[in-house]
Amino acid sequence: MPVASTALVLFVTGCSTGLGLALVKVGVEKGYKVIACSRTPESVNVNGNASNLLKLKVDVTNTKSVESAFQEAIKVFGSVDIVVNNAGYGLVGEFESYTQEEMHKQMDVNFWGSVNVTKKALEIMRPKGFGRILQISSVAGYYPSPALSLYNASKFALEGFSQTVMRELDPSWNIFITVVEPGGMQTEWANKNMSWSKAHPAYTKSTPGGQWREFWKTYHGSEETDPYKAACLLLRLVNQSKPPAKFILGHDSLELIKKQHSDISKEMAQYENLSKQATRDDFDYSNVENLKAALGAN
């Protein structure tokens, strides 16, 4: 039988360490009903009321595992209101060094895992007219970092997917998807959770790829963001009546994204006239004005 409660139900993936674990801890502290999903749920070390916390063994790359997790969440807590897609890891190496298996696994966990969870979450949220989904992307989903090409790709894909789905939802369903773009965070992401390809011999330490591989070896420990503070902040966001489509987290992320905006704007201005020179001769330019008006209305 479902547990009778007016508390919101929080469903978090990737909870064994870092931000996911912090979200579970903050959620329990603040009285949420929390479903902590992990491949190793026994490692989710949280002091909380047993009736307030449900730990589940979940593989986000397996649709049957995801389906089972949501079924159990509804069985125990009656609903799912907030979903945080946090499961993921970084794969370091020069693009040419990656094996097919390494590349597919990176996309399966970071992108397809979030897709699988989001699909099931929407199925539950839509009929009841409420839902909040946080997609934990990265600054690397907007400003790509060398020696992380497939990680960057997985986050770019997640952002494009999430923004598109948000535009498909009927506003009356009261479902909001927020893409979160953290910079460096004091977690195990750049430590024991990092995966490394075998170095490609062409990318020596004198090449940019080789230099960035060396950078990531010493990055852990220098990260800016506190995961507990981040978790508190994110749970404040989802309680807004209209959460943002994107949320940039951290000074480093802000500065890198500003840089990307600046670079894109400069290059766009430089090539703007050239961009318009492939227009067909009989094109109706009122279509451009109509597009501007439609974009302005949105």
List residues with catalytic annotation.
Answer: 137, 151, 155
- Geometric angle at alpha carbon 19, from 107 and 130, rounded to 5°: 80
| DSSP secondary structure string for all residues of 64-114 | HHHHHHHHHHHHHHS---EEEE-----EEB-GGG--HHHHHHHHIIIIIHH
Q: What angle do CA 18, 22, 24 make, to 5 degrees?
A: 120
φ/ψ of residue 43, rounded to 5? -90, -5
Helix (H) or strand (E) holding 185: none
Residue whose token pair is 């907030």:
82
Identify the CA nearest to 87 among candidates 53, 52, 111. 111
Helix (H) or strand (E) holding 3: none
What is the 8-class DSSP label of residue 41? G
Question: Quick one: 297 exposed, middle or buried, by C-beta within 10 A (0-12, 13-18, 19+)?
Answer: exposed
In this structure, what DSSP letter does residue 169 have?
A: S
Instruction: Count the Cβ atoms, other than its own, within 10 Å of residue 157.
Output: 18
Question: In 10 A of CB 177, how many CB atoms?
Answer: 25
| Beta bridge pairs of residue 120 | none
- The rounded distance, in Å, linking the Cα atoms of 170 and 21 is 32
